[in-house]
Amino acid sequence: MVIINDTTLRDGEQTPGVAFTRREKVVLAEMLFQAGITHLEVGIPAMGDEECLTIAAIRKALPEATLMAWCRANKSEIKRTAELQLDWVDISIPSSKQMIEHKLKSSVDKLLANMLDCIRYAVSLGLQVCIGCEDASRAELDFLADIGALGSLAGAQRLRYADTLGLLEPFMVYKQIKQLSSEQPLPIEIHCHDDLGLATANTLAAIKAGASYANTTAIGLGERAGNAPLEEVAIALYQCYQQDTGINLTALPALCQAVSLAAGRPVAQQKSLVGEQVFTHESGIHVDGLVKDVRNYQGVDPQLLGRSHRLVLGKHSGIGAVQAVFARIGISLDKIQTDKLLIAVQAFAIDRKRNPSDIELLRLSDQVLGSF
């Protein structure tokens, strides 16, 4: 079973302009845990005392959760992680030639020596270690395998493959993770960014290739275009691979809404799975098919998320939809009444650029047909 190691509270909060309060982070952590996401990356100790106090508050609120902090290969940061009584530390190191030379301004030998020293130090403090390979998608695969093999000998227990710039596509991800799994001993955690809109697909490809852990963020928060959305990965694993992640899928809409409010990032109406309109139908052909049998136009059962289909009227509605929607609000229509209201509904939608509400439909019926 793949384990979701959610990073809403760390990488998600790195979204430009997003700044959770301590109370918000604790509440969101509790909601994540209650939804069955028990592995959480909760912050960056190097950010200072306020961040550490927030991490400590999450630890106190969730003593049974598996909590991770993100650190550089820096002993003082690792020490603070241990002092906060977290379970895991992600020791992040640049792994591509570009970043080693032009960001870290170091050599491979120095990077590896420092990495191993930090791993041993973290293990001595009782921490479990994930090696975070930043920019892994631009690194040499042989070098990533060396990092995993050497890190394992030093005591590391997981290797994070980060597509930091969101450059990859699923076929390459599958090939890379499959090969990396066979060439070094550590379980792999996949960390995808959504710059090309492929973070979910890349995460699934990595899992298919053998990744044991997956990083996600609720509603896809994160740097630039964000990370793989928690709700998409969880539902796709269930829907496509029949994998039980232990997540209560019906809890995801409320969780995503809470994250949206705390982040000040509205969820797009057509956001997959949790957007307001993703189980809403207007087209006459689709509505007719749904009324006959929901399986005609149901790819994902909305009940998985505690939701249901909703029929609305608009420019593309047909007579069957008009009769079904008006019947739902307590008005039975004959053929002539239906035809008249269909014309009125289509004119409303074109004029207002939206679907009429139930109250507006009642007003239309009064205007077109007179009071019932």
Q: Residue 90's domain is classified under what CATH number?
A: 3.20.20.70
Whether 247 and 346 share a structural domain: no
Whether 155 and 290 share a structural domain: no
Whether 256 and 351 share a structural domain: no
Tokens of 37: 């996401």
pLDDT digits 0-9 by tens, 263-273: 999 999 999 99
Out of 200, 230, 263, a domain closes at 263
pLDDT digits 0-9 by tens, 46-57: 999 999 999 999
Using DSSP bridges, classify how beta strands 158-163 and 128-134 pair: parallel, antiparallel or unpaired: parallel
Res 371: pLDDT: 55
- State the pLDDT confidence band at 369, using cuts at 50, 70 and 90: confident
Residue with tokens 């014309």: 343
In a domain, 274, yes or no: no
Res 325: pLDDT: 92
Average pLDDT over residues 328-355: 93
Out of 231, 263, 295, a domain closes at 263
CA distance 323 to 339: 10
Whether 197 and 67 share a structural domain: yes
Average pLDDT over residues 79-103: 97
Res 1: pLDDT: 87
Full residue range of the structural domain in which residue 327 is found? 280-369
Query: DSSP string spanning 186-236?
Result: S-EEEEEB-TTS-HHHHHHHHHHHT--EEEEBGGG-SSTT-B-BHHHHHHH
Contacts of 139 (CB under 8 A, 6+ apart): 95, 96, 97, 133
Strand segments (E) across 135-205? 158-163, 188-192
pLDDT digits 0-9 by tens, 253-290: 999 999 999 999 999 999 999 999 999 988 888 888 88
Name the domain count of the chain.
Answer: 2
